[in-house]
A and B are shown apart, each in its own frame.
Chain A
Amino acid sequence: MNMLTRENRDADRTQTDQFIVPPSSVIEGSDGYTLEVEMPGVNKDGLDISIENNELTIIGRRSLPKIEGTLIHHESRQENFRRTFELDPSIGADKISARIEQGLVTLTLPKAEHVKPRKITVS
Protein backbone atom coordinates (compact mmCIF):
# COMPACT_ATOMS: atom_id res chain seq x y z
CA MET A 1 0.00 0.00 0.00
CA ASN A 2 2.74 2.39 0.98
CA MET A 3 4.64 1.56 -2.13
CA LEU A 4 1.67 2.42 -4.31
CA THR A 5 1.20 5.88 -2.79
CA ARG A 6 4.83 6.68 -3.24
CA GLU A 7 4.78 5.65 -6.85
CA ASN A 8 1.74 7.80 -7.52
CA ARG A 9 3.35 10.81 -5.99
CA ASP A 10 6.44 10.38 -8.10
CA ALA A 11 4.34 10.10 -11.22
CA ASP A 12 2.61 13.37 -10.33
CA ARG A 13 5.93 15.09 -9.94
CA THR A 14 7.18 14.13 -13.36
CA GLN A 15 3.94 15.19 -15.00
CA THR A 16 3.75 18.71 -13.63
CA ASP A 17 6.75 20.77 -14.58
CA GLN A 18 7.95 23.06 -11.84
CA PHE A 19 8.57 26.62 -12.88
CA ILE A 20 9.72 29.75 -11.14
CA VAL A 21 8.70 33.26 -12.11
CA PRO A 22 11.69 35.24 -13.38
CA PRO A 23 12.03 38.95 -12.55
CA SER A 24 11.20 41.19 -15.46
CA SER A 25 10.96 44.83 -16.45
CA VAL A 26 8.71 46.57 -18.93
CA ILE A 27 9.86 49.81 -20.47
CA GLU A 28 7.55 51.89 -22.61
CA GLY A 29 9.00 53.90 -25.46
CA SER A 30 7.27 55.95 -28.12
CA ASP A 31 7.40 53.11 -30.67
CA GLY A 32 6.52 50.26 -28.36
CA TYR A 33 7.55 48.33 -25.31
CA THR A 34 10.75 46.61 -24.29
CA LEU A 35 10.37 43.60 -22.06
CA GLU A 36 13.36 42.26 -20.19
CA VAL A 37 13.23 38.90 -18.44
CA GLU A 38 16.07 37.45 -16.38
CA MET A 39 16.76 33.82 -17.10
CA PRO A 40 20.27 32.89 -15.99
CA GLY A 41 21.41 29.54 -17.35
CA VAL A 42 19.08 29.69 -20.34
CA ASN A 43 20.45 29.92 -23.87
CA LYS A 44 18.79 30.31 -27.25
CA ASP A 45 17.94 26.61 -27.51
CA GLY A 46 16.14 26.54 -24.17
CA LEU A 47 13.97 29.56 -24.91
CA ASP A 48 10.38 29.13 -25.99
CA ILE A 49 8.24 32.17 -26.69
CA SER A 50 4.65 31.85 -27.83
CA ILE A 51 1.56 34.00 -28.26
CA GLU A 52 -1.86 32.51 -27.82
CA ASN A 53 -5.14 34.36 -27.25
CA ASN A 54 -3.29 37.64 -26.84
CA GLU A 55 -1.18 36.10 -24.10
CA LEU A 56 2.58 36.08 -24.39
CA THR A 57 4.28 33.13 -22.70
CA ILE A 58 8.03 32.92 -22.19
CA ILE A 59 9.49 29.61 -21.06
CA GLY A 60 13.18 29.23 -20.39
CA ARG A 61 14.74 25.85 -19.81
CA ARG A 62 18.13 25.93 -18.22
CA SER A 63 21.17 24.15 -19.46
CA LEU A 64 23.29 24.53 -16.37
CA PRO A 65 26.98 23.72 -16.50
CA LYS A 66 27.92 20.43 -14.88
CA ILE A 67 30.20 21.12 -11.97
CA GLU A 68 32.30 18.48 -10.34
CA GLY A 69 32.20 18.21 -6.58
CA THR A 70 29.77 18.48 -3.70
CA LEU A 71 27.53 21.47 -3.23
CA ILE A 72 28.59 23.12 0.01
CA HIS A 73 26.64 26.38 -0.20
CA HIS A 74 23.42 26.62 -2.14
CA GLU A 75 21.25 29.60 -3.01
CA SER A 76 20.27 29.16 -6.64
CA ARG A 77 17.19 27.29 -7.82
CA GLN A 78 17.27 24.60 -10.43
CA GLU A 79 13.72 25.00 -11.77
CA ASN A 80 12.98 26.32 -15.23
CA PHE A 81 11.41 29.72 -15.81
CA ARG A 82 7.93 30.58 -17.01
CA ARG A 83 6.16 33.90 -17.25
CA THR A 84 3.10 35.11 -19.07
CA PHE A 85 2.02 38.60 -20.02
CA GLU A 86 -1.22 39.87 -21.43
CA LEU A 87 -0.56 41.85 -24.55
CA ASP A 88 -1.87 45.35 -24.86
CA PRO A 89 -4.19 45.62 -27.89
CA SER A 90 -1.92 48.34 -29.26
CA ILE A 91 0.91 45.87 -29.81
CA GLY A 92 1.43 44.43 -33.25
CA ALA A 93 1.83 40.77 -32.29
CA ASP A 94 3.32 39.84 -35.64
CA LYS A 95 6.18 42.30 -35.21
CA ILE A 96 7.51 41.08 -31.86
CA SER A 97 11.17 40.21 -31.88
CA ALA A 98 13.33 38.61 -29.20
CA ARG A 99 16.95 38.03 -28.36
CA ILE A 100 18.80 36.44 -25.46
CA GLU A 101 22.16 37.60 -24.25
CA GLN A 102 23.90 36.34 -21.12
CA GLY A 103 20.69 34.99 -19.66
CA LEU A 104 18.70 38.14 -20.29
CA VAL A 105 15.77 37.88 -22.67
CA THR A 106 14.90 41.14 -24.40
CA LEU A 107 11.65 41.36 -26.32
CA THR A 108 10.79 44.28 -28.54
CA LEU A 109 7.06 44.78 -28.82
CA PRO A 110 6.33 47.48 -31.38
CA LYS A 111 3.05 49.35 -31.32
CA ALA A 112 0.86 48.65 -34.29
CA GLU A 113 0.96 51.35 -36.97
CA HIS A 114 -2.61 52.50 -36.40
CA VAL A 115 -2.05 53.47 -32.75
CA LYS A 116 1.16 55.42 -33.28
CA PRO A 117 0.73 59.17 -32.99
CA ARG A 118 0.50 60.58 -36.47
CA LYS A 119 0.84 64.06 -37.73
CA ILE A 120 -1.58 65.12 -40.39
CA THR A 121 -0.47 67.97 -42.51
CA VAL A 122 -3.10 70.30 -43.80
CA SER A 123 -2.82 70.59 -47.51
Chain B
Amino acid sequence: MSLIRYQAPELTPWSASDRWNTLRDELNSFFELPSWSSFPRAGQLFTGWSPALDLYQSTDNIVATVELPGMRKEDIEISLHDGTLTISGERKRESTDGEKAERTERYVGVFRRSIALPTRVDASKVSATYRDGILTVTLPKAEEVKPKQIQVS
Protein backbone atom coordinates (compact mmCIF):
# COMPACT_ATOMS: atom_id res chain seq x y z
CA MET B 1 0.00 0.00 0.00
CA SER B 2 1.57 3.23 -1.05
CA LEU B 3 -0.16 6.32 0.21
CA ILE B 4 2.37 8.46 -1.55
CA ARG B 5 4.00 7.07 -4.59
CA TYR B 6 7.65 7.58 -5.20
CA GLN B 7 8.09 10.36 -7.74
CA ALA B 8 10.19 8.55 -10.29
CA PRO B 9 8.10 5.63 -11.53
CA GLU B 10 10.30 5.06 -14.56
CA LEU B 11 13.01 3.85 -12.23
CA THR B 12 10.95 1.03 -10.81
CA PRO B 13 11.14 -2.03 -12.98
CA TRP B 14 8.11 -3.88 -11.67
CA SER B 15 6.63 -6.90 -13.28
CA ALA B 16 3.11 -6.51 -14.64
CA SER B 17 1.53 -8.46 -11.79
CA ASP B 18 3.21 -6.27 -9.20
CA ARG B 19 1.87 -3.22 -10.91
CA TRP B 20 -1.70 -4.50 -10.67
CA ASN B 21 -1.20 -5.32 -7.01
CA THR B 22 0.09 -1.83 -6.39
CA LEU B 23 -2.87 -0.30 -8.16
CA ARG B 24 -5.27 -2.41 -6.14
CA ASP B 25 -3.55 -1.50 -2.90
CA GLU B 26 -3.57 2.14 -3.84
CA LEU B 27 -7.30 2.08 -4.47
CA ASN B 28 -7.83 0.26 -1.19
CA SER B 29 -5.76 2.76 0.69
CA PHE B 30 -7.90 5.55 -0.66
CA PHE B 31 -10.98 4.09 0.95
CA GLU B 32 -9.17 3.40 4.17
CA LEU B 33 -8.45 7.06 4.81
CA PRO B 34 -10.88 8.27 7.46
CA SER B 35 -11.15 11.68 5.86
CA TRP B 36 -8.93 13.98 3.86
CA SER B 37 -8.73 16.51 6.62
CA SER B 38 -7.21 14.04 9.09
CA PHE B 39 -4.53 13.08 6.64
CA PRO B 40 -1.54 15.36 7.12
CA ARG B 41 -0.83 17.56 4.16
CA ALA B 42 -3.44 16.04 1.91
CA GLY B 43 -2.89 18.89 -0.50
CA GLN B 44 0.74 17.87 -0.88
CA LEU B 45 -0.05 14.28 -1.72
CA PHE B 46 1.89 14.49 -4.96
CA THR B 47 4.20 17.38 -4.31
CA GLY B 48 5.64 16.54 -0.90
CA TRP B 49 8.74 14.50 -0.63
CA SER B 50 8.65 10.82 -0.85
CA PRO B 51 11.90 9.01 -0.14
CA ALA B 52 12.99 5.97 -2.15
CA LEU B 53 12.15 2.67 -0.48
CA ASP B 54 13.51 -0.80 -1.21
CA LEU B 55 12.18 -4.04 0.19
CA TYR B 56 14.13 -7.27 0.49
CA GLN B 57 12.93 -10.72 1.43
CA SER B 58 15.05 -13.55 2.79
CA THR B 59 14.14 -16.83 4.51
CA ASP B 60 13.99 -15.23 7.94
CA ASN B 61 13.52 -11.51 7.41
CA ILE B 62 11.85 -8.75 5.50
CA VAL B 63 14.19 -5.76 5.26
CA ALA B 64 13.14 -2.27 4.22
CA THR B 65 15.68 0.43 3.37
CA VAL B 66 14.70 4.08 2.96
CA GLU B 67 16.90 6.92 1.73
CA LEU B 68 16.56 9.71 4.27
CA PRO B 69 19.63 11.93 3.99
CA GLY B 70 20.25 14.53 6.66
CA MET B 71 17.62 13.63 9.20
CA ARG B 72 17.80 13.37 12.94
CA LYS B 73 17.14 9.90 14.34
CA GLU B 74 14.49 11.33 16.64
CA ASP B 75 12.51 12.73 13.71
CA ILE B 76 11.93 9.33 12.09
CA GLU B 77 8.90 7.28 13.08
CA ILE B 78 8.35 3.65 12.22
CA SER B 79 5.05 1.89 12.78
CA LEU B 80 3.58 -1.46 11.93
CA HIS B 81 -0.14 -1.91 11.62
CA ASP B 82 -2.16 -4.64 9.97
CA GLY B 83 0.76 -5.93 7.92
CA THR B 84 1.62 -2.47 6.67
CA LEU B 85 4.91 -0.82 7.49
CA THR B 86 4.76 2.96 7.70
CA ILE B 87 7.79 5.18 7.89
CA SER B 88 7.09 8.82 8.49
CA GLY B 89 8.75 11.88 9.87
CA GLU B 90 9.58 15.46 9.37
CA ARG B 91 12.66 17.17 8.08
CA LYS B 92 12.91 20.50 9.78
CA ARG B 93 14.32 23.54 8.12
CA GLU B 94 17.32 24.91 9.92
CA SER B 95 16.90 28.44 11.19
CA THR B 96 17.37 30.81 8.31
CA ASP B 97 17.70 34.16 9.99
CA GLY B 98 19.18 36.68 7.63
CA GLU B 99 19.74 34.04 4.99
CA LYS B 100 18.12 33.53 1.66
CA ALA B 101 17.84 30.41 -0.35
CA GLU B 102 19.44 30.75 -3.76
CA ARG B 103 18.38 27.36 -4.95
CA THR B 104 16.25 24.79 -3.18
CA GLU B 105 15.99 21.26 -4.44
CA ARG B 106 15.91 19.51 -1.11
CA TYR B 107 12.53 18.84 0.38
CA VAL B 108 11.68 19.88 3.88
CA GLY B 109 8.57 18.99 5.79
CA VAL B 110 6.53 15.90 6.41
CA PHE B 111 6.92 12.64 4.57
CA ARG B 112 5.14 9.33 4.86
CA ARG B 113 5.75 6.04 3.14
CA SER B 114 3.65 2.93 3.63
CA ILE B 115 4.19 -0.48 2.18
CA ALA B 116 2.27 -3.72 2.57
CA LEU B 117 4.53 -6.50 3.79
CA PRO B 118 4.38 -9.72 1.78
CA THR B 119 4.22 -11.96 4.87
CA ARG B 120 3.41 -11.70 8.53
CA VAL B 121 6.22 -10.47 10.75
CA ASP B 122 6.96 -10.65 14.45
CA ALA B 123 6.22 -7.10 15.52
CA SER B 124 8.03 -7.51 18.84
CA LYS B 125 11.35 -8.23 17.11
CA VAL B 126 11.47 -5.36 14.62
CA SER B 127 14.74 -3.42 14.71
CA ALA B 128 16.01 -0.38 12.85
CA THR B 129 19.31 1.37 12.21
CA TYR B 130 20.04 4.75 10.64
CA ARG B 131 23.42 5.10 9.04
CA ASP B 132 24.83 7.36 6.30
CA GLY B 133 21.33 8.67 5.67
CA ILE B 134 19.83 5.26 5.03
CA LEU B 135 17.23 3.82 7.36
CA THR B 136 17.25 0.02 7.52
CA VAL B 137 14.29 -1.70 9.16
CA THR B 138 14.64 -5.42 9.81
CA LEU B 139 11.38 -7.28 10.34
CA PRO B 140 11.80 -10.93 11.33
CA LYS B 141 9.14 -13.15 9.76
CA ALA B 142 6.56 -14.67 12.09
CA GLU B 143 7.42 -18.25 13.05
CA GLU B 144 4.36 -19.70 11.35
CA VAL B 145 5.26 -18.35 7.91
CA LYS B 146 8.89 -19.52 7.96
CA PRO B 147 9.55 -22.61 5.87
CA LYS B 148 9.92 -25.68 8.03
CA GLN B 149 11.45 -29.01 7.31
CA ILE B 150 9.53 -31.91 8.75
CA GLN B 151 11.43 -35.11 9.36
CA VAL B 152 9.69 -38.39 8.64
CA SER B 153 10.17 -40.53 11.68
Contacts and interface: CB of A to CB of B under 8 A. Distances in A.
Contacts of A24: 103, 105-106
B105 A25 contact: yes
B132 A102 contact: yes
A92 interface: no
Contacts of A63: 132
B100 A27 contact: yes
B52 A39 contact: no
Interface in B51-93: 52-59, 61, 63, 65, 67-71
Interface of B: 6, 8, 11-13, 18, 52-59, 61, 63, 65, 67-71, 96, 98-107, 115, 118, 130-134, 136
A73 B99 CA distance: 40
B132 A103 contact: yes
Interface in A54-79: 63-65, 67-77
Interface of A: 23-30, 33-34, 36, 38-43, 63-65, 67-77, 101-104
14 contacts: A28-B99, A34-B99, A36-B70, A40-B133, A41-B67, A41-B134, A63-B132, A65-B65, A69-B61, A70-B58, A73-B53, A74-B55, A75-B52, A75-B53
B100 A28 contact: yes
A72 B102 contact: no
Contacts of B67: 40-41, 76, 103
A117 B61 CA distance: 59
B70 A72 contact: no
Contacts of A26: 101-103
Contact of A69 (B12, B52, B56, B103): B56
Contacts of B107: 23
B106 A23 contact: yes
B9 to A, nearest CB: 9
Residue with the highest number of chain A CB atoms closer than 10 Å, among B63, B71, B105: B105
A17 to B, nearest CB: 19
Contacts of B105: 23-25
B103 A103 contact: no
A42 B104 CA distance: 21
A28 B104 CA distance: 11
Contacts of A65: 65, 131, 134, 136
A28 B53 CA distance: 32
